[in-house]
Structure 1
Amino acid sequence: MARSNSSESLSEVHSSVAIPTGKSPWKKFLAFIGPAYLVGVGYMDPGNWATDLAGGSNFGYSLIWVLLMSNLMALLLQSLSARLGIVRGLDLAQASRNTYPPIVNIPLYILAEIAIAATDLAEVIGMAIGLQLLFGLPLIAGVSITVLDTILVLFLMNRGIRLMEIFIVSMVSIIGLSFLAEMIIASPDLGEVVRGFEPSLLSGEALYIAIGIIGATVMPHNLYLHSSLVQTRKLDRSPSGLRDALKFNFLDTTIALNLAFFVNAAILILAATAFYKNGMMVDEIQDAHRLLEDLFGSLAPTLFAIALIAAGQSSTITGTLAGQIVMEGYLNLRIRPWLRRLLTRLLAIIPAFFTILYFGEDALGNLLVLSQVVLSLQLGFAVIPLIHFNSDRVRMGEYTIKTWVKVLAWSAAIIIVGLNVKLVAESIGGWIGGAENPVYLYIFVVPVAIITGILLLYVTFGPLIRRERRLKRNIPHGEALSITLPDKMELRRIALTIDFSRNDRDTIRYALMQGGKQANYLLIHIVESAGAHYMGGEIRDFETRSDEENIKKYVEDIRKLGYQADYRIGYGKTAPSIARIISEDACDFLVMGAHGHRALKDIILGTTVDAVRHLVKVPVLIVRKEE
């Protein structure tokens, strides 16, 4: 774990896809295709399935207009997200860190992590249900298997962003073709479908599901993700190059999100045709699968399960990537990608396990809808900063959004926030009215709602009030310092690690070059045998005796050259033992040899150098020799 030394979002794939120059517009467009499809799968994940099934089976076609409104909002907001990444070269989390003070950014980060956990929860549940429907696996086993998705994501990222985009497009194709076949089988009444696009008033259960649909469609983590993914293209930063990038990314977004709208509308229409018109209310994906078989035979439920697995598998990638972007952007903190993705997945698996164990498998459907409502409640904290950043004429210049776009964007934000406020007020009022002793709600729930409201007000009006400070803070790594002539630095006690490999010769030579004959040199070796872990300095096995004889020889050779040297042997875990010796002997410099292990060798042999440099407070010189 470390502070990020790179200001690039998703630095491992940043600017990794070249844009052809001097080619036809069609070939340029093909180079830009990809990021919106990674974003688009988030709009057709299992969470969307849950809200679409609930909406269609409970209210028929009457909520299709909510889907259309959500899709139009998503198209507008995702295009703003792409614009931010293209023009300013910042993802949404980085821009927030540069704009708001830490006291605001930390809650924003926590809310973003909650949204990502809710997203991944939906994907975990959806994958587990799909595996159960297709192969008969118990849900608890399916949830466990989803941990392996972390390995797939890591493999795809290591192979490049293009392979990941190809994988996603193939998954989207499977989903789309499956539901095209489902629509042919179900044969809905087109006249009734068209009437579903007429807006109507929402309240009660319809409002709850509508907000779930909005949260499942306009997903906050996708706004963070899109602003980062567009930076995987090696853009021409000239005005014409940026205009081309904005145009082609808008086309990419339009196509991808319209495909997502088709899938969501197909699920809702299928639920309305198959269940609502037959007097069946379906809140569980498993029930939908079973009833489809009763109504249409074996092909429809098989296609349904295949599409569900494809949706869960592809959507998990977006959630884990968004988790990495949010952590690095808000906290300027980078941890190993596989660890970050495993952490994201565990945050989703734990509530799924808890729900299955304590409430039963039947409760997963309600948990899916709840996860989407949580996403919707977090939307305002991502949407409002996004609008501010795209309206900043100082930073966006000629690419600042036009007035009519601002009006549409703020209208979308007002609708989203307004519906959420209404839901929160109705929910809290209902809880208080139905509670025998509402004092706990007044102590815990009401204050949280009030604090969250104050945070939302600050996010909305803070950038307008604190514009001067914002402009000064908008520097990724701070300002350059003035450099003066260095004072003479004397190294008195130089430590160097010894492992009796070919590295030792270079490690010793570089150490002697640092301090000359005025410094004192401490040679350190750690005995890592099983006995050393348990017995420490009391161990006197063959390995310990042999290592001590070898390190004494090094010390004697160094002394013969006219240098002062002695040695220390540690026992057990390498990195903590080295750090402890450095501290006890008051060393002021450390020289270490590195083997240059990569990938699998790093996992098997460990990364001692990386661990040590985070444990010591002295400068570290790493002498590397490739094997």
Structure 2
Amino acid sequence: MPPAHTAPPRIVWLLGPALVAGVAYLDPGNVASNMTAGAQYGYLLVWVVLAGNVMAWLIQYLSAKLGVVTGRSLPEMLGTRLRRPWARRAYWLQAELVAMATDLAEIIGGAVALNLLFDVPLLLGGLITGAVSMILLAVQSRRGARPFEFVIIGLMLIITVGFVAGVFVAPPDPAGVVGGIVPRFEGTGSVLLAASILGATIMPHAIYAHSSLARDRFGATSARGDVEAERTGAARIRRLLAATRWDVSIAMVIAGSVNLAILLLAAANLAGVEGTDTLEGAHAALADGLGPVVATFFAVGLLASGLASTSVGAYAGAEIMQGLLHVRIPLLARRLVTLIPALVILGIGVDPTLALVLSQVVLSFGIPFALIPLVALTAQKRLLGPWANRVWTTTAGAVASVLLIVLNGALLWLVLTGA
């Protein structure tokens, strides 16, 4: 009998990597940055959230495309192109600092959420968050990519409900939202928060991780050899890239909507309320103004955010080390080591919300180091062949890179000069 025809998988079964990477856009640093921006400046920075989300779509698609077409991650590509050991180590160091800043935000966010929900001390909450993230990483290590994706996507649904519920209870002012679409700043503080929002929206570790997630899920897809093999390989890549565009679009719509909802919730309900520049104060203000149910939803969303995003961050950090230093440390061992800075911050009593916002600023400075190589590599026809970027795609990526670098430079100048 002839072999039974096996239909190609439906696009829905090819979704997942972008949704996992998209959790990075919903981490506690996002909550702190967007909540603080809304409470302090109202609807002023709505445009930053929207612009960041548009740029994030392009960037995450390029990252996934690199992994799908080449079967290699961005850190692996950089590790082979940076031939001098000192260059690889320097590049790894900045990427590692960014990954540590990410982990700091996520562990602290989980600790704050446990404190709000169950009055757990912050240090113990950090340990619990780290322990749960180790369980999630064990799922990825032992069961593979697909079960890990299901767990993270489940947490993403909890995050979405937790953070969006309040907007339906107390809707924002439509005129204020429309006014916030016009790009503008009001002093150094708004520039600082804009950089913080972009650092939380376009996260370097998400750029590194997405190419790795696509590689792990789909493997190398380029086919070489006879004409039929090449035709089959090209068809498979085309199908995977079509699924990837849907995957990235769904992930970015969810992430953008949640981030915007957080800012609008604060702008509509927390503007002028004292103490809302901290997560604890924002939670208390939500409880007073909108009731304990909305405040509980917020805290549950924050907890799910910390648990999901810290797992993805640890995965990204391991891939960065492997790709650039050619050293692979078991995920669980790395998780233990990277817990230390966050636990130290919690132990010495640094204000959690301040640490979260500053961590996002650190992330924003790591963006060019991930973004510029990504745009350059995906534009190379000798690397991606017919799947290389079109001119307009490379131009859009270059414009996004320049805008982000200029904003970060302006931020540094304003902070150093006190302007």
TM-score (norm 2): 0.92
Counterparts of 1:180-579 in structure 2 under 5 Å?
Answer: 180-201=164-185, 203-234=187-218, 236-237=221-222, 238-276=233-271, 278-280=272-274, 282-354=276-348, 356=349, 359=350, 363-430=351-418
Q: Please state if 1:32 is matched with 2:27.
A: no
Q: Per-residue deviation at 1:67?
A: 0.3
Letter in 1 for 2:215: Q
Which one-letter code corresponds to 1:285 in the other structure?
L
Structure-2 separation of matches of 1:163 and 1:174: 17
Q: Hey, what's the Cα distance between the residues in 1 that align with 2:6 and 2:179? A: 47
Runs (5+) with no aligned partner, structure 1: 1-19, 434-627
Structure 1 residue 280, shift from structure 2 partner: 4.3
Corresponding residue SS for 1:282 = coil
- Shift of residue 281 of structure 1? 6.0
| CA-CA distance at 1:79 after TM superposition | 0.6
The residue type paired with residue 39 of structure 2 is: S
- Between the aligned partners of 1:144 and 1:169, the Cα distance in structure 2 is 23
Q: Which has the larger radius of gyration?
A: 1
CA distance in 2, matches of 1:147, 1:313: 8
> Is residue 122–residue 346 contact of structure 2 (8 Å, CA) maintained in 1?
no
- 1:426-480 per-residue CA deviation (whole Å, 9 max, x = no partner) reads 32334xx9xxxxxxxxxxxxxxxxxxxxxxxxxxxxxxxxxxxxxxxxxxxxxxx
Secondary structure at the counterpart of residue 197 of structure 1:
coil
Whether the 8 Å contact between 2:164 and 2:262 is mirrored in structure 1 is: no
Q: Per-residue displacement from partner, 1:255-311 (whole Å, max 9, x unpaired)?
A: 0111011111111000001111x5546210000000111111111111111111011
- The one-letter amino acid paired with 1:168 is I
1:129 is aligned to: 112
Superposed displacement of residue 144, structure 1: 2.5
Inter-partner Cα distance in structure 1 for 2:305 and 2:186: 29
| AA matched with 2:353 | G
Residues 201, 136 of structure 1: alpha-carbon distance in 2 compared, 3 angstrom cutoff: closer
Q: Which amino acid aligns with 1:382?
A: A
RMSD: 1.7
Instruction: Name the amino acid aligned to 1:74.
Output: A
Partner in structure 1 of residue 54 of structure 2: 72
1-structure distance, mates of 2:332, 2:18: 23
- Structure 2: 5+ residue runs without aligned partners? 223-232
CA shift at 1:199, angstroms? 1.5
How far apart, in 2, do the equivalents of 1:108 and 1:115 lie? Answer: 11
Q: For residues 337 and 188 of structure 1, what CA distance do their matches in structure 2 show?
A: 42
Question: Which amino acid letter does the alignment assign opposite residue 248 of structure 2?
Answer: T
> Post-superposition shift, 1:407?
0.9
Q: CA–CA distance in 2 between the matches of 1:185 and 1:423?
A: 35
**Residue by residue, what CA displacement relative to the aligned partner does 1:362-419 show, whole Å, maximum 9, x if unpaired?**
x211111000000001111111111111111211211110111111100000011111
User: 1:320·1:345 contact (CA, 8 Å) conserved in 2?
Assistant: no
Is the partner of 1:78 in helix, strand or coil? helix
Q: Distance in 1 between matches of 2:241 and 2:137?
A: 29
Q: 1:60 aligns with which of 36, 39, 42?
A: 42
Q: 1:218, 1:45 → 2: CA distance?
A: 12
Summarize the Cα distance change of 1:31–1:296 in structure 2 as closer, same or farther, 3 Å threshold: same
Structure that is richer in helix per residue: 2
Question: Distance between the aligned counterparts of 1:233 and 1:364, measured in 2?
Answer: 36
Distance 2:161 2:32 in 1: 20
Higher relative contact order, chain-length normalized (CA < 8 Å, sep 6+): 2
- 2:26 corresponds, among 22, 44, 51, to 44
* Letter aligned with residue 266 of structure 2: A
| 1:240 partner letter | A
Q: Which amino acid aligns with 2:372?
A: I
Residue equivalent to 1:172: 156
Q: In 2, Cα distance between the equivalents of 1:118 and 1:368?
A: 9
Q: Distance in 1 between matches of 2:269 and 2:392?
A: 41
- 8 Å contact from structure 2 (residues 196, 360) kept in 1: yes
Question: Residue deviations 1:555-590, cap 9 Å, x none?
Answer: xxxxxxxxxxxxxxxxxxxxxxxxxxxxxxxxxxxx
Aligned to 1:563: none
**Which amino acid letter does the alignment assign opposite residue 145 of structure 1?**
I
